[in-house]
Amino acid sequence: MSYGQKTEMVAMLLAGGQGSRLGILTKDVAKPAVPFGGKYRIIDFPLSNCINSGIDTIGVLTQYRPLELNAYIGSGQPWDLDRLYGGVFILPPYMDGKGGEWYKGTANAIYQNMNFIDLYDPEYVLILSGDHIYKMNYDLMLDYHKEKNADCTIAVIQVPWEEAGRFGVMTAASDGRILQFEEKPKEPKSNLASMGVYIFNWQKLREYLNKDEEDETSDNDFGKNVIPGMLHSGENLFAYEFKGYWKDVGTIQSLWEANMDTLDPNVPLELNDPPWRIYSRSSNMPPQYIGENASISNSSIADGCKIEGTIENSILFPGVTVEKGARVSNSILMHKVVVEEGACIGYTIVAPSAEIGRSAKIGASEGDMSGKVHDEITVVGEFVKVGEGVTVPAGVSVGEDIFGEEAGR
């Protein structure tokens, strides 16, 4: 079946991962639904990049805890993705006559949805992941892909050498042709890391996905199997170097850092960018109210917040309340968090709807450190209540309500 109308490029967004390194932040939501940057969720970035790049047909592959993500994406209207033809589709694993199974790997997820892609009969398929914060014009990458007459183009970015081992790393010739690709090598030969953004010629990818599925020893993964397989068979693979802000927010530390980057004028991640807006579902809250006793510096505060306390170098999502005498510094307070009188929060990520009781002390105080180099971020989980006067030391994750004097595990 096909609609008989051709779409040049269909995007497939891999959003099924748990993001287990984010700990209690992804206990109930998939990683792409994790809040970011004061009003967004991680998935707003690839979705907005798509629509800003002129891509309006997107499949979102979900598997882990999809409820919140499904509800968030809805009809796709906030991203202008409610279309007569195309738009955004949630693609969970499904059953068919022969049975059906979970997505075994990234490549298998696409393999199981080949019919969806065929509906739009595209020339190219763009593979994305819902794990990264970046603003990128995929249309320019497509131009490059066509210009190089490539079968597959991989977006790459230079990363510090010591981090290269965490990524798929490639060596490329001066014209961009990929000579070697290694997934998470122990001794990286290059610092050009894959961003997890691929453009494939659809017919070529189709062929390799079928091959990969037949291979029972395969992990059905793009980085481990499909791309090395194509390289081995002598296909034309090119690296497209991206020069801009790109951050994998897979850990508590990197999530905190990337959030703080939005407050740093020296970091090239400007969210206030009307031609390249990041769209998100509106919280429908009234504007924020800043009270008589508030003191705010270098912070980002969203709709619906009520602030009576002191806020420094922090990011407050919609609907946060900070009472009189409370002090929040270098922290991220997600939707509807309440910080009661006299509480003190430093270097902490507080997940949505958590409540911090009177005079509680969470995380490191700013006296302990200066600047942004800090590796002991405290986390308070969703809906968790921290009782009056409780102290939670730096670097601890609080997943359950705590009262009294002891700290959570």
Q: Which is nearer to another protein, 302 or 392 (by Cβ)? A: 302
**Minimal distance in Å, beta carbon 201 to another protein?**
34
296/407 with CB nearer another protein? 296
Q: How far is the CB of 244 from another protein (least distance, A)?
A: 18
Q: What angle do CA 379, 390, 373 make, to 5 degrees?
A: 40
DSSP calls for 47-61: HHHHHHTT--EEEEE
Q: How far is the CB of 254 from another protein (least distance, A)?
A: 21
Count the neighbouring beta carbons within 10 Å of the beta carbon of residue 81. 24
Cite the DSSP H helix spans in 123-186: 138-147
Q: Give the integer Cα–Cα distance in Å for 198 and 141.
A: 9
Q: Is 283 exposed, middle or buried (0-12, 13-18, 19+ CB in 10 A)?
A: middle
Of 118 and 366, the one with the shorter C-beta distance to another protein is: 366
Residue 180 CA to residue 231 CA, distance in Å, equals 8
Q: Where are the alpha helices (DSSP H) in 53-191?
A: 67-73, 106-111, 114-119, 138-147
Least CB distance from residue 11 to another protein, whole Å?
Answer: 20
Residue among 99 and 274 whose Cβ is closer to another protein:
274
List all residues 6 or more positions away from 23 whose beta carbon is below 8 Å from its beta carbon: 252, 379, 397
Contact 37, 259 (CB under 8 A): yes
Q: Which residues contact 136 (CB under 8 A, 6 or more apart)?
A: 49, 53, 155, 197, 242, 244, 246
Which residues fall within 8 angstroms of residue 216, CB to CB, at 6 or more apart?
none
Comparing CB distances to another protein, the nearer of 54 and 291 is 291
Question: Is 352 within 8 Å of 336 (Cβ atoms)?
Answer: yes
121 — phi, psi (to 5°)? 45, 55
CB of 53 to another protein, least distance (A): 17
Q: Judged by CB, which is closer to another protein: 23, or 74?
A: 74
CB of 328 to another protein, least distance (A): 12
Least Å from the CB of residue 356 to another protein: 20
Nearest to 213 by CA among 95, 282, 113, 320: 113
Q: Which residues bind another protein (CB under 8 A)?
A: 37-39, 77-78, 271-272, 277-280, 282, 284-292, 294-303, 311, 315-316
Residue 345: CB minimum distance to another protein, A: 17
Kindly state the smallest distance separating residue 252's Cβ from another protein, in Å. 22
| Pair 212, 226: CB distance under 8 Å | yes
- CB-based contact 319:336 (threshold 8 Å): yes
Identity of the residue, 274 or 367, whose beta carbon is nearer to another protein in the bound complex: 274
Which is closer to another protein, CB of 287 or CB of 404?
A: 287
Name which of 12 and 320 has its Cβ closer to another protein.
320
Rounded to a whole number of angstroms, the minimum distance from the CB of residue 24 to another protein is 24
Looking at the Cβ atoms of 158 and 353, the one nearer to another protein is 353
Token pair in block for residue 116? 């969806």
Distance between CA atoms of 118 and 221, rounded to whole angstroms?
21
